[in-house]
Structure 1
């Protein structure tokens, strides 16, 4: 690996941590540079040009894994009955859990994705394209088609809440496993996946509230 490639790798790793901790849109590029061990305060701009290009590189790290794994489970979900939400939700939950269990980078990645999903309509075109490359939008299209009929605004709100709930739950579980001090005991992976799928299905099928 060349020195330039090594520097880019360190910047991406540092950005993954800082974006997750401080927020994609508010994190300091100087702090990213510092954590990457670079003395040049303009290292991000030199190697990536913009914050958005750095963010694309961060998203690219695990996009292929999520796309492949979600694609496998989506294919299975499409063979299930049209009212089966659990198979579709498993295609969201299981890949996220598997990624989070690879280590801190996977958990941080999910935190970043959760931030971006909430702001998708405002994202830079290249960032949106890389986020779409994770494959999740095909899964959500199937989920939306199987959810009970709802007013459009309520339907969109539920999808956003379900997404945030899943990603935060998975990231929090991974974060707990990284702590040096004991905390609440965690469920075994398979039970955690099935429980989270069931909870998300409940969120998706709860009758609409009266206004």
Structure 2
């Protein structure tokens, strides 16, 4: 822990990883504009030259904070989707599970909860360059899921389907943030609570997607 900034620092991690971890924490606390490079270098225990060497610019650093988490998340999503795509026995719940469960797993992994706050910042601050980066790098993931949803919901127009998927994604982001009114009870394990969250969200999303 860096006692000056309150950011956890793992001294055994590589310089690049320390910078990314410190940046994720600062972005969650102070936003992309509010977190300065001076604060970042102090939190990570590095100099500005190290930040420039590994990332070149603050914008690229922001992108790499997202890439570190989202590459892993979307690889898991696509692997789960690959097993069920196009099969006659595949249900809407199966596709939602492939979309939702890896995201909930990420939100409870080490540092995942902090990343959810960074993600919320991205939506709140309306950063157009970041939105473009996310669309260009991860838009193909949503297109693959949307194609499978469309196959299973042939009566929905493309526009209606996009509206519903957007709302499902919003509900998932809310569930991942842990800010909802349903909090884990002290006698319920983290694993069981996460499974309960997944089951409720999948049922809720399936009902919304199926509505005529």
TM-score w.r.t. the length of structure 1 is: 0.68
Q: Which residue of 2 aligns with 1:6?
A: 14
Check whether the contact 2:23–2:65 (CA below 8 A) recurs between aligned residues: yes
Provide, for residues 84-110 of structure 1, a one-character-per-residue CA deviation record: whole Å limited to 9, x for no partner: 32111111111112222222x222334
Aligned residues: 194
Counterpart Cα distance in 2 of 1:184 and 1:21: 30
1:51–1:76: structure 2 CA closer, same or farther, 3 Å change rule? same
1:32–1:198: structure 2 CA closer, same or farther, 3 Å change rule? farther
Q: Which residue of 2 aligns with 1:107?
A: 113
Pairing partner for 1:142 from 148, 151, 166:
148
Q: Which residue of 1 aligns with 2:163?
A: 157
Pairing 1:17–2:22 present: no
Check whether the contact 1:56–1:126 (CA below 8 A) recurs between aligned residues: yes
Q: Which residue of 2 aligns with 1:167?
A: 173
If asked which structure has higher relative contact order (CA below 8 Å, sep 6+), I would say: 1
Counterpart Cα distance in 2 of 1:60 and 1:188: 27
1:173–1:114: structure 2 CA closer, same or farther, 3 Å change rule? closer
Check whether the contact 2:19–2:51 (CA below 8 A) recurs between aligned residues: yes
Shift of 1:172: 0.8
TM-score w.r.t. the length of structure 2 is: 0.68
Q: Which residue of 1 aligns with 2:196?
A: 191
Gaps of 5+ in 2: 1-10
Check whether the contact 1:96–1:110 (CA below 8 A) recurs between aligned residues: no
Pairing partner for 2:76 from 61, 69, 75:
69
1:142–1:55: structure 2 CA closer, same or farther, 3 Å change rule? farther
Shift of 1:56: 2.6
Structure 1 range deviating more: 162-171 or 106-115: 106-115
Q: Which residue of 1 aligns with 2:35?
A: 28
Counterpart Cα distance in 2 of 1:88 and 1:114: 24
Counterpart Cα distance in 2 of 1:23 and 1:142: 35
Q: What is the aligned-residue RMSD (CA, Å)?
A: 3.9
